[in-house]
Structure 1
Amino acid sequence: MELAHATEVKPSAAPRLWTKDLILITVSNLFVYLNLQMITPALPAYVSQKFNVSSLMISFVISMFALSAIATRMYAGVAVSRMRRVPLVIAGLLIFLLSTMTYYGVGAIALIILIRIVYGVGFGIISTTYGTVVSEIIPKRRIGEGMGYFGLSTSLSMSIAPVIGLWLLNDYGFGTLIVVASILIAIVIPITFSIQMNRQEKTSHTVKKPMKIKFMDRDALLPCVLNILLSITYGGLITFITMLGKENDIPNVGWFFLFNALAVLLVRPISGKIYDSKGHGAVLPIGCFMVIIAMLFLSYTTSLPMLIVSALCYGVGYGALQPSLQAWAIQRAKPENRGVANGAFYNSIDFGIALGSMTLGIVALKTSYAMMFRLSSLFMVLFIVIYVIARRRQGQS
């Protein structure tokens, strides 16, 4: 009897997370976002200097990218579930590379707008494909942890790329910036051929129905709605924190993004493990609470130490929430709809940021930047209210 008891099957060890495919796709995602985040803050200065256009026109040039990416993901979300992924993402990378290369030397503002639209098409294809593929590469039991690590590539680029981009622009010119950004994408293209992307190949070949544009996967709707509310607060931050610094005489508000990025880098692996072991209920309420605290603290900030504390709180909250929401959206979606779910999730980020910039800008005009950040915390109050009501209606799914 003792021998029989000794031969009982033990729980299997945690599946391996860091495979070659996960490493390569994470590096590729880092390079793509470095390209994006290097060009985005430098482009307004370049366009203003070269074409001498109004701030409204500059806003229009920048926003065309987000609108194009959102529209593209409606198609890409379906395509990534039915087509071979390598040719699809290579097409996106080539579009992204060619549009990057043509930024420099364009002699008309209308052509810059056209390039931004094409640039958004390439990015929409790439981001949707990468998000879907990485969700299949990561073991299901470690999806929260894996998505957290994958998301670090985006966070790292957001913290260092603007600094690099503005440095290249100021010291070497826009042409050098474009060359460096183009090289990054040129490196990604050969890497792509080494990644096993067609995990759903058999399924995609058996589907004979005509391809239809699908904006949202119904199962992923709740995480995407919550992510819009989170992204609204981020849209207000990246647009108006400089103005808050001027309003309250806070020097070097750029420190906010550095300490925010450090907090994100530290919390994502931890929150991912908690998500995998205890579920979204153990992560989302705490993350939401930290963002609320950050917004309220920021609204009363009058010194650099207070700004840093606010940045750390926001980084902990944002770093825990976003990858958990993406993992939750993927888990709720059917396997054949993961491409649509990922596309919808990335669209929720762009839409939330744009909505936050516009709505919170109106609030700031009517009140003050401090009051605007105070009121932006109400979006996270709405976040927790929707989350609690949805959990009660749907159970623990």
Structure 2
Amino acid sequence: MNESPQASRVKLWTIDFTLLMLCNFLLFLQLHMIVSPLPSYVQERFHANAFEVSLFTCLFALCAIAARLYSAKALERGLRNTMIYLGLTVALLATLGYYFAGGIALLLLLRMIFGTGFGMTSTAFPTMASDIIPVKRMGEGMGYFGLSTSLAMSIGPMIGVTLLQGAGFTTLMLCTAGVIAVIYPLSLSLTRKKANKVASSAGSVPQAQPKAASVSGTREKLPFNRKLFLPSILNALLAVTYGGLVGFIVLYGKEANLSNPAFFFLFNAIAILIVRPFAGRLYDRKGPKALLIPGTFFMAGGLILLSFATSMPLMLLSAFIYGIGYGSMQSSLQTWMIQIVAPSQRGMANGMFLNSLDFGIAMGALLLGGIASLTSYTEMYRYSAVAVVLFLIIYLIQGKRSGSFDVQVHPLLAHTHIEGKDKETND
């Protein structure tokens, strides 16, 4: 994973890359603006129990996963623009439909429809980014791109909870719909271009490679790549802990008498902002082990500290510690998944990354919600740290078994990785 000093000189920050980051940020922002305040709203409005509340996260995630399974194949067939605009339209209409939801059943149905639209668009944006980012800066580039997702996941709940408490659910719904609407004009310049044009100019591998099938063998014909299972499982375990945060941090704040629990996400975002640029460069030089192993200690420490938080300063410190671990580990897993598949399977890799993220969040909300109903939210966050410990155990066992903790970069990417140095330009 060692890089030459010249690798950092390949141009990364293009207009297309910046626009993609902004579109992806807004897409995940509108999602997380409503994910965290929704359990509190449903509980107060419809007097829902813990199981019913968890269904809003679980069913949304399952529909997003199903949509991505189709979207990955559609992207391989060149239907990128269709996935973006169809997904945005479905998500927008479902969001506006919240206004007419007078019961739990209809609100659940709208969340499922929204999940379908979100799954389509959320697969397209990171796939476009992995085509644009130069291969020699893939770790750094996906680290920055993943920052748009992590920041949205961090500040979205805080904005959503503030809007719900201060202005009500209708205002929250209109604001999230407005965020989706803004994505349409921003993505126009991106969708007008051919899918592979920017990839070729940025130093990535063109999608059409006659040797791809022979390199990957029969795996190219499968709807999945078995190499993606390990990082997907690890990503799901990380997401389990985040599911407990977005689903129950507001309710935990009431239990622990914390005045503003939504500020947890603000300090989590600050930590991610600080660590993400360094994490991407470290990944390119040292590989995932330099981030994943120490990151588990930060995440577990943040969760344990949160469970003992009886004051705002202690809660904010736990958020910062958790953010250091989560911010460095999640982008590493996404880069890992992109690097081990052929360029034609980047849609599949990003789809599996996002699916494992949503699956983990859904299972986290479901399992940890059950634990909280039997014990307390304080105990629940201590149990959630077990997922991080399990992450570390699986990663260490697999590394020992394979004899290496380094990522085995796909041959097509490895070949491109050592070419074209004479064409490098300053950023």
| Shorter-normalised TM range | 0.7 to 0.9
Aligned length: 385
Flag the 1:202–1:251 CA change in 2: closer, same or farther, 3 A. closer
**Counterpart in the other structure of 1:359:** 367
> Aligned-pair RMSD on alpha carbons?
3.1
Q: Cα–Cα, structure 1 residues 170 and 305, in superposed 2: closer, same or farther, change >3 Å?
A: closer
1:376 maps to amino acid: S
Alignment of 1:291 onto 2:286: no
Q: 1:268 aligns with which of 261, 273, 276?
A: 276
- For residues 88 and 142 of structure 1, the distance between their equivalents in structure 2, rounded to whole angstroms, comes to 27
Out of 370, 379, 384, the residue aligned to residue 376 of structure 1 is: 384
Query: How far 1:368 moved relative to its partner?
Result: 4.4
CA distance in structure 2 between the aligned counterparts of 1:266 and 1:36, rounded to whole angstroms: 23
Alignment partner, residue 129 of structure 2? 134
Instruction: Indicate which of 387, 392, 396 corresponds to 2:395.
Output: 387
Shift of 1:119: 0.8
Q: Which amino acid aligns with 2:208?
A: T
Partner of 1:227: 235
Task: Tell me how far apart the structure 2 counterparts of residues 107 and 253 of structure 1 sit (CA, whole Å).
Answer: 28
Distance 1:114 1:212 in 2: 34
- Compute the displacement of 1:43 (Å): 4.1
- 1:6 alignment counterpart: none
**1:1-397 mapped onto 2 (5 Å cutoff):** 11=6, 14-44=9-39, 56-107=51-102, 109-195=104-190, 196=193, 198-199=195-196, 203=208, 214=223, 216-394=224-402, 395=404, 396-397=406-407
Query: Could you say if the C-alpha distance between residues 388 and 256 of structure 1 is closer, same or farther in structure 2, counting changes exceeding 3 Å?
Result: same
C-alpha distance in 1 between matches for 2:261 and 2:168: 25
- Provide structure 2 residue ranges, at least 5 long, that are not aligned to the other structure: 200-205, 213-219, 408-427
One-letter amino acid matched to 1:162: P
Assess if the C-alpha contact under 8 Å between 1:78 and 1:212 holds in 2. Answer: no
Taking every aligned residue pair, what percent have the same amino acid on both sides? 45
Does the 8 Å CA contact 2:87/2:120 hold for their aligned counterparts?
Answer: yes
Cα shift at 1:280: 0.9
- Is the 1:101–1:182 contact (alpha carbons within 8 Å) kept by the matching residues of 2? yes
Q: Distance in 2 between matches of 1:17 and 1:127?
A: 21
TM-score under structure 2 normalisation? 0.80
CA deviations on 1:219-241 (whole Å, 9 max, x unpaired) are 11111111111111222233344
1:300-357, CA deviations, whole angstroms, 9 ceiling, x for partnerless residues? 3333332222211101000000001100011112222221111111111111122222
Q: In structure 1, what residue type is equivalent to 2:235? A: N
Measure, in 2, the Cα distance between the counterparts of 1:147 and 1:382: 25
Structure 1 residue 366: deviation in Å? 4.6
Normalising by structure 1, report the TM-score.
0.86
Q: CA deviation at 1:287?
A: 0.9
Which of these two proteins has the greater Rg computed from alpha carbons?
1
In the TM superposition, what is the alpha-carbon distance from 1:390 to its structure 2 partner?
A: 1.5
- AA of the residue aligned to 2:236: I
